[in-house]
């Protein structure tokens, strides 16, 4: 199966799923797509049993999707997400959002990684501590598209909506960047043997510091080009931003720095650079809509990819059991990662009653963790990471998505 065949299949099912959900299920997109992806999983399994001569599993496994997922899908989605983050609109919520995103991801990664490490050790499933931290980081990434669409269905305070949407937008980029930096740390360790503390710090500084510098440069370069173009020239601005993402990813990989951080920083710089006298940003309305369309389209394709994961993951009962245990660990870690920063900032910033509950339960997982887990080619322990990611993402979107309304109504009753 050629890569274009895989892309064609993903696009076909994405369109079919969106059509069925829009006109028949009429559920929030993330919930509807997850249900359909789960249904696709069972159909694929049954099809493989009935028609083993088609060797679907072997065809999917034969193709290494790391380059496509890392260099294109993740870069595009993170750039699109960063392009939506307007620090000016956050106002007084800027500091709480940044603290919740950065500190929350670090706390969540450590709590999930540590507890999952001891869980798997108890279950006699082999996965090193760095592998558990990688899982902790990637699964800490929340889906801003799903969260934003669901919270808009409920009447929340402007302050809480800004906290939820702002934190979700930053959270995804930070978590994915951290996960891929940990992957680089593991691979560096595999090459040179045991890494010293100094060598580990150097890997982090090279990946994060280098990605930050390259991202700031490409963001500045893109802004300088875009500010001289009339915003009505949407096709030119779209091509410039696309070239920025693709070339930035290539240069980052060539320099061995974080291409994900380059994409995030480029988007942040372009969105938050100086506006013109009439208040327009460097890019026009249609460019934002284009990247929003790209983000949502790729998110839909990743939900379809969740369904095809059944061809990739081993059907081991202990792996799926570990996934369900990991789901509870992820929910607990999310609560801790929200509770601690909010309590730390409560003396200097106001938080409504019930904020912790809404922020904790509203953290739906999406396609980004799926993409990262599938991109871990030749990584020892990838199968258990993919399985746990599959279980957590599907259960998170469906269970939390359907019950979030009850949590929000409880929050609203506390404000009366």
| Tens-digit pLDDT profile for residues 222-238 | 998 888 887 778 889 99
- Most distant pair of Cα atoms in the chain: their distance: 65
Question: What SS3 state is found at 346?
Answer: coil
> CA 366, 372, 377, 378: dihedral to nearest 10 degrees?
-110
Long-range contacts of 277-283 (CB under 8 A, 24+ apart): 280/231, 282/222, 282/223, 282/226, 282/227, 283/83, 283/226, 283/231, 283/237, 283/241
- The token duo for 312 is 């990739």
Task: Work out the average pLDDT over 269-273.
Answer: 88
Task: Work out the average pLDDT over 33-61.
Answer: 74
Question: In whole numbers, what is the pLDDT of the chain averaged over residues?
Answer: 84
Q: Sign of torsion, CA 159 165 167 170?
A: negative
Alpha-carbon gap, residue 367 to 30, rounded angstroms? 9
Angle at 328 between CA 352 and CA 204, to 5 degrees: 80
Question: pLDDT digits over 67-85, tens only?
Answer: 677 778 888 888 988 888 8
Q: Sign of torsion, CA 229 235 238 240?
A: negative
- pTM (2 d.p.): 0.88
Domain borders along the chain are: 65-414
- CATH of 65-414, picked from 3.90.700.10, 1.10.4010.10, 1.20.1530.20, 2.10.10.90, is 1.20.1530.20
Task: Give residue 184's pLDDT.
Answer: 86
Alpha-carbon gap, residue 152 to 117, rounded angstroms? 37
Question: pLDDT digits over 363-373, tens only?
Answer: 888 878 888 88
């Amino acid at each position: 199966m050629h890569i274009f065949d895989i892309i064609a299949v993903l696009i076909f099912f994405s369109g079919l799923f969106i059509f069925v959900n829009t006109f028949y299920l009429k559920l929030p997109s993330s919930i509807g797509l997850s249900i359909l992806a789960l249904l696709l999983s069972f159909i694929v399994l049954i099809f493989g049993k009935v028609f083993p001569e088609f060797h679907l599993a072997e065809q999917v496994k034969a193709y290494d999707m790391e380059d496509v997922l890392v260099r294109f899908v993740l870069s595009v989605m993170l750039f699109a997400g960063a392009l939506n983050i307007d620090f000016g609109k956050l106002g007084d919520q800027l500091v709480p959002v940044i603290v919740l995103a950065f500190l929350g991801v670090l706390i969540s990664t450590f709590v999930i990684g540590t507890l999952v490490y001891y869980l798997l050790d108890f279950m006699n499933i082999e996965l090193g501590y760095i592998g558990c931290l990688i899982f902790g980081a990637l699964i800490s990434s929340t889906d801003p598209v799903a969260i934003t669409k669901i919270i808009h269905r409920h009447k929340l305070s402007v302050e809480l909506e800004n906290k939820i949407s702002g934190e979700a937008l930053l959270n995804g980029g930070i978590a994915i960047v951290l996960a891929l930096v940990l992957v680089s740390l593991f691979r560096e360790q595999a090459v040179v043997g045991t890494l010293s503390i100094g060598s580990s710090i150097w890997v982090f500084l090279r990946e994060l510091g280098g990605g930050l510098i390259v991202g700031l440069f490409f963001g500045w370069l893109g802004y300088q080009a875009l500010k001289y173009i009339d915003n009505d020239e949407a096709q030119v601005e779209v091509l410039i931003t696309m070239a920025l993402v693709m070339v930035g990813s290539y240069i980052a990989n060539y320099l061995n720095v974080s291409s994900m951080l380059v994409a995030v920083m480029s988007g942040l710089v372009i969105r938050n650079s100086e506006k013109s006298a009439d208040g327009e940003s460097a890019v026009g309305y249609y460019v934002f809509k284009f990247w929003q369309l790209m983000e949502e389209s790729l998110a839909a394709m990743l939900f379809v990819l969740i369904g095809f994961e059944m061809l990739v993951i081993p059907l081991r009962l202990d792996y799926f059991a570990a996934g369900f245990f990991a789901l509870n660990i992820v929910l607990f870690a999310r609560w801790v990662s929200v509770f601690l920063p909010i309590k730390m900032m409560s003396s200097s910033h106001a938080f409504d009653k019930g904020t912790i509950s809404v922020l904790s339960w509203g953290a739906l997982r999406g396609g980004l963790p799926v993409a990262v887990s599938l991109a871990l080619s030749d990584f020892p322990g990838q199968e258990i990471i993919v399985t746990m990611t599959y279980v957590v993402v599907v259960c998170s979107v469906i269970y939390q998505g359907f019950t979030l309304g009850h949590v929000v109504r409880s929050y609203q009753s506390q404000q009366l």
